[in-house]
A = this chain, B = another copy of it.
Amino acid sequence: MEFLRFDDASFEAALERIVARGEEPPAGVEDVVGEIIARVRQEGDRALFDYTVRFDGLDLSAATVEVSAEELEEALAEIDDDSRAALQLAADRIEAFHRKQKQESWLSTDEPDMLLGQLVRPLDRVGIYVPGGKASYPSSVLMNALPAKVAGVGEIVMVVPMPKGEINPHVLAAARLAGVDRVFKIGGAQAVAALAFGTESVPRVDKITGPGNIYVATAKKQVFGQVDIDMIAGPSEILVINDGSGDPRHVAADLLSQAEHDELAASILVTTDGAFAAAVKEALAEQLTVLPRREIAERSLANYGAIVVAADLDEAITFSNRIAPEHLELAVADPFAVLPSIRHAGAIFMGHHTPEAAGDYLAGPNHTLPTGGTARFFSPLGVDDFVKKSSLISLSREGLQRIGPAVVTLAELEGLAAHGRSVSIRIDK
């Protein structure tokens, strides 16, 4: 845990280490993934099942690769009532939020002799990647499938590895609740390849979303263009801006909720109050002792945690905009006064009663957010990610007559005579 001031000699170096964490995939991953994709593309199911035996210790066939509708139903029935109710509440709230994101098709009649418009339509089929084993999170299923559902996607296909056949019933229950259409027991780069190119058993999709390890992330990047993918996700981070108001124990708890994710997670507090900073540090040490995932959180804090004391709120805000954090908590007395100055953040948590965890699960907005400073240009996963647009142009003869001469002028300017001719042949009558 670094304890820093902006004028420290070591400040830039410490910050650079945090920002650059986990940037490059380990050597060899690109090649391994490239080979897996090429084989699955060429051999289909055979390669897919082969890799699944090798990596997941699970022997599949065309008859067993898919989870049946009955199994999904059973999973939902089998989980305890509290879990089911919480998942249902989350699903309802996430769906309600995402409904507000829907864009409609439009047609403009501003001009008498032409119609211009934009069609907004759902993708035909999407694939959702859900990690297996310990990092197999039902919330991730909801956050990926529900925006696709709201968008009106024709078919939602989910892949989730089941190492040695191990099944997470909550993940299946979430799939059932979110309206996932088909679930396959596959994972890794081979599952991404199967979704991108299709195999005898797995249908080809138009877009692949969802988190995964470095092999999955690399595979998604490699098939990008063949299908669309969601953002390139790196390790997770939280930045808390504080003005000395609020309870240091709450802020410490929020930092730990990020730190427990994995050892590359970054938890940063920037506060204008040195005493608050010290109190958070103390609270962190105290709360760490009772955490089940203490070791992970400790290592994350040691490597990528920082408490920064700023001269004033402006300095803290400038710092935040430079980081462009995935999660930004405005743990200040008047968060709405600070909001206009915040330029980049995946999700913004306002005030002292909005811990990040509320957004991770069921406030409504998506928890798939741009990481590692990419909030400068990427957006939270949402309904827009599951639609595509088409432009619409309809000219009457009069419309073409009106704008045609300028088209011919520009076509000639660019040396594209046939472009001009396709207009002049129609209006030179």
A residues with a Cβ closer than 8 A to B are 82-83, 85-87, 89-90, 93, 96-97, 100-101, 103, 106, 108, 110, 114-116, 118-119, 121, 123-124, 134, 137-139, 170, 206-207, 221, 224-225, 227-228, 232, 249-250, 253-254, 256-257, 259-261, 287, 291-293, 297, 335-336, 339, 342-351, 353-366, 369-370, 374-380, 382, 384, 387-397, 399-400, 403-404, 406-407, 409-411, 413-423, 425-426
Q: How far is the CA of A201 from the CA of B404 in the complex (A)?
A: 41
Closest chain B residue to A227, Cβ basis: B377
Q: Closest 10 A-B residue pairs measured CB to CB?
A: A350-B394, A365-B391, A379-B389, A228-B377, A253-B422, A86-B409, A225-B232, A347-B391, A86-B406, A357-B419
Distance between Cα atoms of A256 and B336 in the complex (Å): 57
CB–CB A425/B206 < 8 A: no
| In the complex, residue of chain B having the shortest beta-carbon distance to the beta carbon of A367 | B391
A416: B residues at CB distance < 8 A: 257, 260-261, 293
Residues on the B chain within 8 Å of A351, using CB: 394-395
Q: Is the CB of A359 within 8 A of B138?
A: no
CA distance A250 to B261 in the complex (A): 62
Candidates B124, B377, B422, B426; contact of A123 at CB < 8 Å: B377
Contacts A123-B377, A410-B87 known; A395 to B346 CB distance under 8 Å?
no
Would A423 and B391 count as touching, CB distance under 8 A?
A: no
Rounded to whole angstroms, the CA-CA distance of A123 and B344 in the bound complex is 9
Give which listed residue, B124, B261, B409, contacts A83 with CB less than 8 A: B409
Report the minimum CB–CB distance from A237 to chain B (whole Å).
Answer: 15
* Complex contacts, A344 vs chain B, CB 8 Å: 388, 390
Question: Can you pick out 11 interface pairs between chain A and chain B where the beta carbons lie within 8 Å of each other?
Answer: A89-B406, A221-B225, A250-B422, A257-B418, A350-B393, A353-B396, A355-B422, A358-B404, A362-B403, A376-B388, A379-B388
Q: How far is the CA of A358 from the CA of B398 in the complex (A)?
A: 13
Which residues of B are found within 8 Å of A297, using beta-carbon distances? 418
* B90/A410 in contact, CB under 8 A: yes
In the assembled complex, the CB of A376 is this many whole angstroms from the nearest CB of chain B, namely 5
Neighbouring B residues of A254 by C-beta, 8 Å: 422
Contact indicator A257/B422 (Cβ below 8 Å): yes
**Chain B min CB distance to A236 (Å):** 12
Residue in chain B with minimal CB distance to A85: B406
Complex alpha-carbon distance, A354 and B124, angstroms: 28
Whole-angstrom distance between the Cβ of A36 and the nearest chain B Cβ: 18
Collect the chain B residues with CB atoms within 8 Å of residue A370's CB. 388
A259 vs B232: C-alpha distance in the bound complex, in angstroms? Answer: 36
User: Does B354 contact A390, Cβ atoms closer than 8 Å?
Assistant: no
Query: Which residues in B have their C-beta under 8 angstroms from that of A228?
Result: 374, 377-378
A414 CB contacts on chain B under 8 angstroms = 137-139
